[in-house]
């Protein structure tokens, strides 16, 4: 398929709501699996892995990082199974007719049992997906419990460490592209993205005040695109500054990398793939917003 045919197909999808939603769902799953698995591999390699909670990121050292990696691998397997097999058909429901007869003289009322609607959650009831969900839940809960015990001074849960705390392979393609990411870390560029976000926020408030349908959708679609360059710029700067690349001299960052390489590298990894993930989410939301009729007049 040529690029022109692919673009024509993408334009046609903008007007096919059901098919587009399915394509977007599969695209999100396909893009999520490698990021989730790289997240798990980073925890095994560095022996340190931040976990996102409602209270923010929590450091998961040692054994907690390994358990968090197990959770990531289980979720990745769940997504792969859903991509390969799709919605698992529910077990057949016997089509027996139930006849209710409440009182003599009343007409009989036949009723068929309700049929469950298929879907991702319905399909997750398969044995393999149930095992994946169980493993992910147990690993997540265990990591949180061990992390809490670690803060109380039980340092046993902080062992073992990472297999290769100084490894750079989880950071690829950062060793190649860091020179192009450094301009994104400059203060004028970062202030520019903040100003654009503020303008879009005020515009969304004004459109909401004028009762425009879907006033917040353009802001939510543009927000990940504005956040992504800041994450990528931070990743490029942290990688280069700690290693003395590009003429940068940051003794504090170089010392942090030398003393705690696993923790420093995993946060650089988080900035890199956080930016890539945010940009991907923004593109998917932008495509969906361009196809939707959410701001059309009634």
Residue 18, class by beta-carbon neighbours within 10 Å (0-12 exposed, 13-18 middle, 19+ buried)?
A: exposed
The tokens for 59 are 């450091």
The model's pTM is 0.76
Cis peptide before 173 (omega within 30 of 0): yes
Q: Over 60: is that where the pLDDT of 7 sits?
A: no
For residue 168, the cross-strand partners are none
Q: What is the DSSP letter of 247?
A: G
CA distance 176 to 272: 13
For residue 99, give the H/E element and its range: strand 98-100
Q: Where are the domains of the chain?
A: 1-90+115-163, 165-298
> Of the candidates 144, 244, 226, 219, which has an alpha carbon nearest to the alpha carbon of residue 184?
226
Average pLDDT over residues 252-281: 93
The tokens for 102 are 């409440």
51 three-class SS: strand
Instruction: Kindly give, in sequence order, each residue whose CB lies less than 8 Å from that of residue 270, ignoring residues fewer than 6 positions away.
Output: 50, 57
Q: What is the overall mean pLDDT for the chain?
A: 80
For residue 110, give the H/E element and its range: strand 109-111
Q: Over 60: is that where the pLDDT of 298 sits?
A: no
The tokens for 256 are 């942090």
Least confident range from 113-122, 175-184, 251-260: namely 113-122
Q: Binning pLDDT at 50, 70 and 90, where does residue 53 land?
A: confident
Strand ranges inside 146-283, DSSP E: none
Q: Over 90: is that where the pLDDT of 266 sits?
A: yes
What pLDDT, on the 0 to 100 scale, is given for residue 32?
86
What pLDDT, on the 0 to 100 scale, is given for residue 74?
96
How many beta carbons lie within 10 A of that of residue 126, not counting itself?
Answer: 17
For residue 100, the cross-strand partners are 109
101 or 170: whose pLDDT is higher? Answer: 170
Q: Binning pLDDT at 50, 70 and 90, where does residue 27 land?
A: confident
Least confident range from 72-81, 209-218, 220-229, 268-277: namely 209-218
CA distance 270 to 63: 19
CA distance 8 to 209: 37
What pLDDT, on the 0 to 100 scale, is given for residue 5?
56
């Amino acid at each position: 398929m040529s690029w022109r045919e692919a673009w024509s197909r993408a334009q046609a999808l903008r007007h096919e709501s059901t098919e587009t939603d399915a394509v977007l769902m599969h695209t999100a799953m396909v893009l999520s699996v490698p990021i989730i698995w790289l997240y798990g591999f980073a925890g095994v390699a560095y022996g340190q892995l931040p976990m996102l909670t409602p209270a923010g990121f929590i450091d998961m050292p040692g054994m907690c990082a390994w358990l968090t990696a197990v959770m990531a691998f289980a979720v990745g397997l769940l997504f792969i199974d859903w991509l390969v097999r799709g919605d698992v058909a529910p077990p057949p429901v016997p089509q027996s007719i139930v006849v209710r007869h409440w009182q003599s003289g009343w007409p009989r009322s036949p009723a068929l049992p309700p049929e469950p609607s298929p879907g991702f959650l319905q399909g997750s009831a398969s044995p393999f997906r149930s095992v994946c969900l169980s493993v992910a839940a147990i690993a997540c809960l265990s990591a949180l419990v061990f992390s809490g015990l670690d803060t109380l001074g039980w340092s046993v849960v902080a062992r073992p460490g990472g297999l290769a705390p100084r490894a750079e392979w989880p950071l690829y393609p950062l060793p190649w592209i860091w020179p192009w990411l450094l301009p994104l870390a400059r203060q004028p560029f970062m202030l520019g993205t903040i100003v654009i976000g503020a303008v879009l926020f005020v515009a969304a408030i004004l459109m909401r005040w004028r009762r425009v349908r879907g006033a917040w959708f353009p802001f939510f679609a543009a927000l990940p695109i504005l956040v992504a360059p800041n994450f990528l710029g931070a990743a490029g700067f942290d990688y280069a500054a700690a290693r003395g690349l590009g003429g940068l001299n940051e003794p504090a960052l170089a010392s942090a990398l030398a003393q705690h390489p696993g923790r420093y590298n995993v946060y650089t990894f988080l900035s890199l793939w956080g930016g890539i993930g945010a940009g991907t989410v923004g593109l998917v939301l932008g495509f969906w917003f361009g196809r939707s009729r959410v701001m059309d007049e009634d």
